[in-house]
Amino acid sequence: MRKYGGKIVTTAVEHASVTKALRILRLQDWQVVYIPSPKGVLDLEEFEKAVDKDTVFVSVMLVNNEIGCIFPVEEVSRIIKRKGSPALLHCDAVQAFGKIPFTPEGIGADLVSVSAHKIHGIKGAGALFARSGLKMHALQFGGGQERGLRPGTEGLPQLAAFGEAAKLTRERMASDAPKMAALRDYCHKALLEKIPEAEIFSTDKGAPHIVSFSLPGEDSDVVVRYLNSKNIFVSNGAACRSHYKNKNPQILESFGLRSEAIYSVIRVSFDANNTFEEIDVFVQTLAGRKKETKRTSIIQQE
C-alpha cells in the first residue's frame, strides 16, 4: 500500500482496536488524519478535505460504541471515489451487526469487521469481510489456515456457534430492531422523568440498542458498582478497556461532552429479550441510589 501513498484517514472516535493499530503506523511514519464528529455528527466537509490521491486507507465505524451514533459510511465511500483516491475503506461494524440493516456492498466498504459476541455467539470468534479480488498479505506466518492469512487451528465450536447466531440474528432482525428501539426510547423518557439531572447523549436517530447518559458530578465507577450490587449490569466504557481505566476522555471530549460529564458517562446496551419492566427497575434503582447511600451513611455513623 505504501507505494500508492502515505496517508490514512479515520474518525476521532474509533474503537481502540482501530486507534491503537493506527498509533503503531504513526510511529512508522504514516500520516494519520483524525476527523472530528461533534455531538456524534461526522464532519463530512473535513473528511472531503482530508481524502486525496495520497490517501491509501480509510477507517470509519458504522455505529459508535460509546454513544450509539450512526456514521454515513456510504457517503464516505462516495467521497473516496469522487476524490479519485486509491484508498481502501474499512468499516468497524461490530456494534451495527444484527442491529441495523446493512451490507458491505451497500455501504461501499472494502473491508468490514464483525464479532460473534454482539449477536449471542461465543466470545473469541469474529469475521473480516474482504471484497472479492482484494489482495491481502499475512502478518503472521505458520500454517496455511484461513487461506494463509492467519495461521493457527480454528476454533470450530466458536465458528459453528457464530454461524448459527448469524443465521438466527438475520431471521429475527426485522422484529428485534424495533423492539430494541422501543426499549431505548422508553429508557430515554424514564431517565428524564425520574432523574431530571441526567444528560442523555444517545438519540432516537442512533443505534436501537444503545443508551448513553451522564449523571453530572458523580463517578460512574461508583454508580456501576452500586448497580452491580443490585444485579443490574451496565458499563462505563468498552469491555475491552476493563483491564485499565474504563473511560476514554479523548473520544468523549471529541463528541463535545463537557469535561464534568465525561467521568460520569454510563452506557446501557439492550437486547430484544429485555423488557420495559426491567427498564423500570433499572431507572427506579438508579433514582433511589442517593437515598440508599445516605441511609447507609447514617447507619454507619450510628
So which residues are the catalytic ones? 240
Report how far residue 4's alpha carbon sits from residue 22's, in angstroms, rounded to the nearest whole number: 18
CA trace torsion 42, 44, 46, 52 (10° rounding) = 130
Report how far residue 83's alpha carbon sits from residue 85's, in angstroms, rounded to the nearest whole number: 5
User: From residue 44, how far is each of 12, 76, 90, 109, 288 by CA, in Å?
Assistant: 13, 8, 17, 17, 42
Cα–chain-centroid distance for residue 282?
22
Q: Which three cell numbers stand for residue 255?
A: 463528541
Nearest to 219 by CA among 276, 266, 166: 266
CA trace torsion 233, 238, 241, 247 (10° rounding) = -90
Q: Which three cell numbers stand for residue 300?
A: 454507619
Tally the residues of the chain: 302
The torsion region of residue 256 among left (phi > 0), alpha (psi -120 to 50) and beta comes to left
- Provide the residue type at 57 as one letter: F
